[in-house]
Amino acid sequence: MKKIGILTSGGDAPGMNACVRASVRAALANHLEIFGIRWGYAGLIRGDMIPLDRRAVANIIQQGGTILGTARSEEFRTKEGRARAINMLQDTGIEGLILIGGDGSFRGGTLLSQECGVSVVGIPGTIDNDCYGTDYTIGFDTAINTALEAIDRIRDTATAHDRLFFVEVMGRHTGFIALESGIAGGAEEFLIPEIPMSIDELSGRLQENFKEGKRSAIVVVAEAEQPGESFHIAQEVKDKTGFDSRVCILGNIQRGGAPTARDRVLASRLGATAVQALIDGKGGYMIGEVNREITYTPLKDTWEKKKAGHYLKIRGFSRGNQGRFFAHRLSFRPG
Ligand code: F6P
């Protein structure tokens, strides 16, 4: 293998730049040429790529976003779109491709590798942490720390006013961000999509808490299917309990900012390992980290298999057993 490409796809995540940097440096150290493909699959279809050298990735380890740009490409979902992308890869002689993204990007990567002879390796980069095959995705740690900082600030004003707050965090169809930022922030209740809970139950629990002397509370809500749903939830809780509240939607703030040390280290390790995987002929896998060990998960599994249950279980957050303490405090999205 002489020439490889790298792209970032889907929602950006802090640490993507650290990953690009590590892959570039590892590629050059192994005498490979490496091209940065701009704007994800959309750029691949257009042939928008630039050669990357050591200098091109200098001083980016601390930067959020992605120097390559990213996008969600509708065209790449079509066979015709992918055929154009394959032509571009063949024209430029790229034999191996590193994809940094989430499960949607890996779905596209699986099809791409099935439809052409290029070796494709995935690296999990999304704040959502919803990729099967890795304990953590690049960007998750930064995102939960950003959310935590916001929760801590909201705690101050909630306490000062004796108020109930609904704090809505990102995470698409999963509650990883809600769970970890909420636990760290001492949230009173959680609404996450993994286990549904009705408004009645949530209202009852809040009422119980307030009867026992609580004067303020924070409910962390995962955005799930409908970002902004917290406003409706707050209104419904008010209708049932009379509790006035404030709603805070953290939104895309969670995607920006300098990556934490943990994200930079994870990104650097996975970025360098991905290059080695291409050299070793291990295409078709996502490189992840489970119990701090590098793992190779077939790309197909990363989006076909669900991480949620497994993740909650290994961390002891399942209902029953030692997760009881959390389970009884966790409230979940209305079903
Ligand atoms: O996948 C990352 C993510 O931030 C999700 O948590 C969120 O649902 C989505 O992207 C938002 O995407 P956009 O910024 O394109 O609206």
pLDDT score of 196: 79
pLDDT score of 197: 81
Q: How far, CA to CA in Å, does 144 sit from each of 154, 177, 194, 234?
A: 15, 6, 18, 23
Instruction: Check pocket membership of 128 for ligand 1, CB cut-off 6 A.
Output: yes
Superfamily covering domain 141-254: Phosphofructokinase domain (3.40.50.460)
Based on the residue annotation, tell me whether 128 is a catalytic residue of this protein. yes
pLDDT score of 108: 94
Region class of 71: left (phi > 0), else alpha (psi between -120 and 50), else beta: beta
CB neighbour list of residue 121: distance below 8 Å, 6 or more residues apart: 96, 97, 98, 99, 274, 277, 278, 282, 283, 284, 285, 286, 287
pLDDT score of 12: 98
Stretches where the chain sits below pLDDT 70 are 308-335
Q: How far is the CA of 35 from the centre of ligand 1 (A)?
A: 26
pLDDT score of 160: 98
Residue tagged active-site, from 12, 103, 128, 263: 128
pLDDT score of 88: 96
pLDDT score of 265: 98
The torsion angle over the Cα atoms of residues 306, 171, 258 and 27, rounded to 10 degrees, is: 30
Closest CA to 64 of 271, 253, 289: 253
pLDDT score of 308: 56
pLDDT score of 307: 84
Residue-wise pLDDT for 305-326, tens only, equals 988 544 454 344 433 333 333 4
Spatial contact of 104 and 132, defined as CB atoms under 8 Å apart: no
Q: How far is the CA of 246 from the centre of ligand 1 (A)?
A: 23
Instruction: Check pocket membership of 103 for ligand 1, CB cut-off 6 A.
Output: no
CATH code, 3-139+259-304 = 3.40.50.450
Domain 3-139+259-304 and domain 141-254, same fold? Reply is yes
- Enumerate the domain spans of the chain: 3-139+259-304, 141-254
User: What's the burial of 137, exposed, middle or buried (CB within 10 Å: 0-12/13-18/19+)?
Assistant: buried
Q: The pTM is what? A: 0.92
Q: Which atom of ligand 1 is nearest to the CA of 255?
A: 4
**Among protein residues, the one whose CA lies closest to atom 15 of ligand 1:** 11
> β-pairing, 293-298 with 285-290?
antiparallel
**Among protein residues, the one whose CA lies closest to atom 2 of ligand 1:** 11
For residue 243, the number of C-alpha atoms closer than 13 Å in the C-beta half-sphere is 31
- CA–CA gap between residue 181 and residue 169 (Å, rounded): 9
pLDDT score of 226: 86
Instruction: Check pocket membership of 102 for ligand 1, CB cut-off 6 A.
Output: yes
